[in-house]
């Protein structure tokens, strides 16, 4: 599959490399095709370009940009996204007051919903935003049936995302379909709890973890 990855940070790096190893043709997108942040990806042999370049050449797109700027990033490629699936794994965060009050998500503040409103032609599916990027692409790093949540209005788009998750190693019983895109608010709000757990465990050096549902 041809997959566009929006974002050149830690998450975009982990996803683009994992997808390439799985045999997908990956194009990494940044704000401009001459962004210096793209050079490490080009050095790895990956295709690079602007967000629009990554979208036009891809069958599916992953938004791994900073959640505070994701709507603007995705909207810049709107013309190339019509009818395509976009996996949004971003979170809006403000670390100016520390991790204890960093997550900005609320019932009326959902980055996934705002992306869908700004780019109505794309099929937004929220997933993978409740874990470290290494766990996203290798769930075996955490033992047990920990879960990944999926939210979206298009059943076809959600199935496409579930199939990709399976390639990463997520088992069927670990994929929890919450329903329509309105349910994306819950996983986005869960980010504050995730940050609190990171602090309680002693920081990011304590190793990967994820949430599970027992019952």
- Distance in angstroms (rounded) separating the CA atoms of residues 146 and 154: 24
- Residue 24 parent element (H or E): none
Grouping H, G, I as helix, E, B as strand and the rest as coil, residue 125 is strand
CATH number listed for the domain at residues 2-201:
3.40.50.720
Residues 87-145 pLDDT 10s: 999 999 987 766 656 888 988 999 999 999 999 999 999 999 999 999 999 999 999 99
Residues 76-85 pLDDT 10s: 999 999 999 9
pLDDT of the residue at 78: 97
For the chain, what are the domain ranges? 2-201
Residues 23-82 pLDDT 10s: 999 999 999 999 999 999 999 999 999 999 999 999 999 999 999 999 999 999 999 999
Residues contacting residue 114 through CB under 8 Å, at least 6 positions apart: 71
**Residues 154, 123 contacting (CB under 8 angstroms):** yes
**Residues 206, 141 contacting (CB under 8 angstroms):** no
Nearest of 32, 33, 34, 37 to residue 11 by alpha carbon = 37
- Distance in angstroms (rounded) separating the CA atoms of residues 212 and 215: 10
């Amino acid at each position: 599959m041809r997959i566009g990855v929006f974002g050149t940070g830690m998450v975009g790096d982990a996803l683009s490399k994992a997808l390439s190893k799985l045999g997908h043709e990956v194009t990494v997108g940044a704000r401009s095709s001459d962004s210096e942040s793209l050079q490490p990806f080009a050095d790895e042999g990956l295709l690079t370009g602007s967000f629009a370049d990554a979208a036009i050449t891809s069958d599916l797109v992953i938004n791994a940009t900073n959640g505070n700027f994701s709507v603007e990033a995705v909207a810049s490629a709107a013309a190339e996204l019509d009818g395509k699936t976009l996996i949004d794994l971003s979170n809006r965060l403000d670390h100016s007051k520390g991790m204890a009050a960093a997550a900005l998500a609320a019932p009326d503040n959902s980055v996934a919903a705002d992306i869908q409103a700004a780019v109505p032609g794309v099929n937004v599916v929220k997933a993978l935003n409740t874990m470290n990027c290494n766990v996203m692409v290798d769930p075996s790093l955490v033992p047990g049936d920990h879960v990944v949540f999926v939210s979206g209005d298009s059943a076809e788009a959600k199935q496409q995302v579930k199939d990709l998750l399976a390639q990463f190693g997520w088992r069927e019983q670990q994929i929890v379909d919450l329903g329509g895109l309105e349910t994306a608010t819950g996983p986005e709000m869960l980010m504050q709890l995730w940050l609190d757990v990171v602090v309680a465990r002693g920081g990011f050096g304590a190793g990967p973890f994820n949430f599970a549902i027992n019952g």
